[in-house]
Amino acid sequence: MHPSDTPPPRGLILLSQPELLNISPDEMTDARPEAYRDLPYRIVEFNHDESFRPPGAPRNWSAEQRALDEQFHTSVKPLRDKYPDYSLLYFGSSSVPLTLYLGYLLETWQRLEVIPRHHEARTWGWHPSQESRPARLAPLQLPDFKDRSPGEAIIRVSTSHRVDAQVTRDVVPGPVLVDLDIALEHPSEDAFSTMDEMLDVTRAFRQALDCIGDNFKSIKRVHLFASVQTGMALLLGAQISKTMHPAVQTYQYTRSSEEGPYHAPALLINGPRTPEPVALRPEEVAQAALDRENLDRDFRRMKGQVRREQGEGRTSWPDAILRNPAEGAVFAGMWKKLPPLWKTPLNQTKIDVATREVEDTFRLNPASEWQIDDRWLARLACRIPEEVSRRRALRMLVLHEAVHRGPQALTRTSSKGIGRFPKVLEEMDYHSDVWGMLYEHTLTASESPEDVERPALFFRDLIHTATETMWAFDDDGQPLRRIQVRRLNRYLIWYWQYLLLEAAAMQQTSFHDVLVLLAQRPLIELAGPTLITEDERVYFPLDPALVTTPEVCVYHEGRLYRHGARYDFSITALLDGVRERNGEAILEVLRAAAEQTAR
């Protein structure tokens, strides 16, 4: 970005971002400033196919960001590298979040100018007028102190319309340490008559970001609410430094007829980069190798169960592991369609004890070998330090995946995009979990019958092992800021079953009654956190500030129960437990609801 008194460039790269309004190549060349008319030029038009969606469908910001990123690196970056002395001339009609991100990609090292679309004249180009008032910036009051405590920052930029301060404060989690307004005295769609006026705003924005980066070191995120022209968004985005500034959360202004105007989270710009993984300690590598070897030994026992079932001609899994017909009768309907162990691919597979690095963490490779990554095994060992329980965790993991790859037909191919069907997956996962736990009960009973003498306690402890295994997959070392709703439901289901079994253990519940409990998937849901959609998946943000009317709803034994926030039932503490991946904290919150529901 350069003021008007700089010399002209050697050539031009014309950038078109026509998400909302098309512009032809002729319109772009005709709108060039007079001083640029004889310069050579190249044209790049961004494709916005990812932005097209059915009416009412949510935006897939992640997909749009990836598409823009890919187009930038394949179309724009090579031209910039080839013509570093060319100016970038921007013709845009795109959403503010995407335009901010494009500006962030462009940075400030190359001359960048905007050709605006005049709102009233409906033409491209600058329209200076003697009658229009200058676009004067209201005074910006930057904080004159330093604060190293953690918190959030808000920057509102108002050049086309004024951003409502209170509405933005309702969106941002506390504590807010910095709250700034960068605004024209008279915002309007056609407020700017020159590039210099726009540059005054970008300088103020840069000062605000620099102030936050220098004086508020513990602020990790700036919440940017920008009601600005498209070109202004581009210039603002270019000011975000990859090294000097925190992450910038952008918002898309939308309007709901029921709830009034609000700002929905869109793209996160300059977000935290995934750190390089820390090298495992020698003892962690050795422990991972031992866990694979133990699983290999246990795998032989599991194949022994396969041979027994085949030898006895068992065609029904309840008949294979539940010798009492009354116990097997508990699992009717869809449960009957699950296979006995010998009808899964397990007998044709083996454990790969040599491979230490697995991109997918855990997988069945094309050679029918189960492979497990060292780092994931190290995470599992941290969550389940006891070897006996960890061996059970790995056995149940393989059992769960084996039944998926049996008649359920959930393979690598069929699972592509399966996250679009959360209810189907929720049911399949629950069936596979219970099936795996019951086979683990059989394997344990054959080796250590005393361990299964109290069935409610045994299955309660299996649930603890299973949920800790799930958390090991969800623990990548980064703060958990959101969780997929389907994933959270799976945790809630199993923590609820844990509490029901905990109560059952106090009453010396029989094995048959434990089976009855396991055969009924709990119907439990959390509501309140603002829903976020991305890649056709639905997420809950794990931020109490983004929660309205929080409740947990349970349908138990034919009756509906609704548990809102109260002294003994804190939804905030529940979300904290999820964010911290702390199963004990989640159980502590849910226990109050379970005691009032399952009396």
Secondary structure in 3-state letters for 519-588? HCCCEEEEEEECCEEECCEEEEECCHHHEEEEEEEEEECCEEEEEECECCECHHHHHHHHHCCCHHHHHH
Quick check: is 6 in a domain? Answer: no
Chain centroid, CA 243 distance in Å: 24
Quick check: is 496 in a domain? Answer: yes
Burial of 85: CB neighbours in 10 Å, binned 0-12, 13-18, 19+: exposed
The 3-state secondary structure of 398-438, one letter per residue: HHHHHHHCCCCCCCCCCCCCHHHCHHHHHHHHHHHHHHHHH
Question: Is residue 575 a contact partner of residue 527, using CB atoms and an 8 Å limit?
Answer: no
- Structure tokens, 126: 């600058």
Question: Is residue 482 a contact partner of residue 539, using CB atoms and an 8 Å limit?
Answer: yes
Do 78 and 188 lie in one domain? The reply is yes
| The model scores a pTM over 0.75 | no
Do 262 and 407 lie in one domain? The reply is no
d(CA 114, CA 92): 8
Quick check: is 39 in a domain? Answer: yes
The half-sphere exposure of 85 on its side-chain side, counting CA atoms within 13 A, is: 6
Do 432 and 380 lie in one domain? The reply is yes
Beta-bridge mates of residue 256: 260
Do 263 and 286 lie in one domain? The reply is no
C-beta pairs of 391-394 under 8 Å, 24+ apart in sequence: 391/291, 391/294, 391/295, 391/298, 392/440, 392/444, 392/462, 392/465, 393/465, 393/466, 393/468, 393/469, 394/291, 394/294, 394/295, 394/298
- Which residue segment(s) compose the domain that 159 sits in? 12-269
Q: What is the pLDDT of residues 118-167, one digit of tens each?
A: 888 888 988 876 567 889 999 999 999 999 998 999 999 999 999 999 98
Quick check: is 563 in a domain? Answer: yes
Q: What is the pLDDT of residues 437-483, one digit of tens each?
A: 999 999 999 999 999 999 999 999 999 999 999 999 998 777 788 89
Do 251 and 295 lie in one domain? The reply is no
Do 107 and 229 lie in one domain? The reply is yes
Do 250 and 370 lie in one domain? The reply is no
Quick check: is 470 in a domain? Answer: yes
Quick check: is 276 in a domain? Answer: no
- Structure tokens, 439: 């086979």
What are phi and psi for residue 496, nearest 5 degrees?
Answer: -65, -45
- Among 205, 234, 269, give the residue marking a domain's end: 269
Do 259 and 342 lie in one domain? The reply is no
Residues 6 or more apart whose CB falls under 8 angstroms from that of 157 comprise 163, 182, 183, 201, 205, 224, 225, 226, 227, 228, 232, 236
- Structure tokens, 171: 């969106």
- Among 240, 269, 298, give the residue marking a domain's end: 269
Which of the 8 DSSP states describes residue 330?
Answer: T
Quick check: is 5 in a domain? Answer: no
Do 291 and 224 lie in one domain? The reply is no
What are phi and psi for residue 340, nearest 5 degrees?
Answer: -70, 160
- Structure tokens, 208: 């605000």
CA end-to-end span of the chain: 68
Quick check: is 275 in a domain? Answer: no
Do 291 and 243 lie in one domain? The reply is no
- Among 244, 269, 294, give the residue marking a domain's end: 269
Chain centroid, CA 368 distance in Å: 31
Closest alpha carbon to 84 in 111, 104, 64: 111
Domain count, the chain: 2
Compute and round to an integer the Cα radius of gyration of the chain.
29
Chain centroid, CA 579 distance in Å: 12
d(CA 143, CA 211): 8
Do 380 and 355 lie in one domain? The reply is yes
What is the chain's pLDDT, residue by residue, as a tens digit (599 residues)? 455 556 778 999 999 998 888 889 999 999 999 889 999 999 999 987 655 555 555 677 888 888 899 999 999 999 999 999 999 999 998 999 999 999 999 999 899 999 998 888 888 988 876 567 889 999 999 999 999 998 999 999 999 999 999 989 888 877 899 999 999 999 999 999 999 999 999 999 999 999 999 999 999 899 999 999 999 999 999 999 999 999 999 999 876 545 445 788 899 999 876 666 778 999 999 999 999 999 999 999 999 999 999 998 888 999 999 988 899 999 999 999 999 999 999 999 999 999 999 988 899 998 999 999 999 999 999 999 999 999 999 999 999 999 988 776 676 666 666 667 888 888 999 999 999 999 999 999 999 999 999 999 999 999 999 999 999 999 877 778 889 999 999 999 999 999 999 999 988 899 999 999 999 999 999 998 888 776 667 888 887 767 778 899 999 999 999 998 888 888 889 999 999 999 999 999 999 999 999 87
Do 482 and 537 lie in one domain? The reply is yes
